[in-house]
Amino acid sequence: MVYISVWTKQNENILMELEHTGRFIAKKEYIQKDLEEHASLVLEVYGWLTKNSPTVHLKPEDVEYPIWVSFFKEATMLPTPGSVTLELSIDRSLVSLVNISKWGMILNYSYIPADDKDKARHRAMLESYGVSDAQAYMSQFYPQIKPEIIDSWSRLFDDAITLGNENSYGIIWEVRKEWVRQLIR
């Protein structure tokens, strides 16, 4: 096993849960509370991520959604009132890499092209319909485009396809009390 350090910013209530149960898992209600009116938009793509992560076979049955981690303390979201940052020591095999640029495209309901030729083909198709990826995705009027967009998201985990940079976050399925090395407030 290869252990790495990762950091995750969470609501301070995680500490009570870790103390009482020995672990923390992300739940739909936590995401809804955190993202408020934007939750339904994000939960749709989180559902896709949950089903398609390379480590989905490691997901405990009671886990609803992944937990985001950073590979660099400096890249972790800044502390805010009511939050804590945990430094974890975790087996590298438990972490799925998520390219930040590609994930941003998914959050925007966008197509992830295989290459420049595929990008031009997809863009020409959208122009012929007079729509954007987001419009096609969210509308019932373009049933042939939405599946193409969703299918392209599998490229999130294809390291051969790059979109400018290699910067990544990670996702894990749970935080165990014994993984916590430091608590930052």
CATH of the domain at 84: 3.20.170.20
Range of the domain at 74: 3-100+165-184
CA angle 82, 38, 99 (to 5 degrees): 85
At 176, phi and psi to the nearest 5? -100, 145
Looking at the 3D structure of the chain, how many domains does it have?
A: 2
Alpha helices in the chain (DSSP H): 14-21, 28-35, 39-52, 100-107, 116-129, 133-138, 145-152
Q: What confidence category does residue 42 fall into, taking pLDDT thresholds of 50, 70 and 90?
A: confident
Neighbours of 29 (CB within 10 A): 10
pTM of the model: 0.91
Q: Are residues 34 and 62 in the same domain?
A: yes
Give the model's pLDDT for residue 157.
95
Residues 38, 80, single domain; the answer is: yes
Neighbouring residues of 30: CB distance < 8 A, sequence distance ≥ 6: 11
The pLDDT of residue 76? 78
Tell me the per-residue pLDDT of 153-184, one tens digit each, with 9 for 90 and over.
999 999 999 887 889 999 999 999 999 999 99
What distance in Å separates the CA atoms of residue 7 and residue 87, rounded to the nearest whole number?
A: 5
For residue 145, give both structure tokens. 């485009």
Mean pLDDT of 77-88: 87
Q: Are residues 51 and 134 in the same domain?
A: no
Q: What is the tens place of the pLDDT at every residue in 87-144?
A: 999 999 999 999 999 999 999 999 999 999 999 999 999 999 999 999 999 999 999 9
- Residues 106, 92, single domain; the answer is no
Same domain, 173 and 92: yes
- Predicted pLDDT of residue 81: 87
Average pLDDT, the chain: 93
Residues 7 and 59 in one domain: yes
Q: Across residues 5-15, what is the average pLDDT? A: 94
Counting every residue written for the chain, the total comes to 185
Residue recorded with tokens 């083909």: 121
Q: What pLDDT shows up at residue 79?
A: 74
94 plus 32 within the same structural domain:
yes
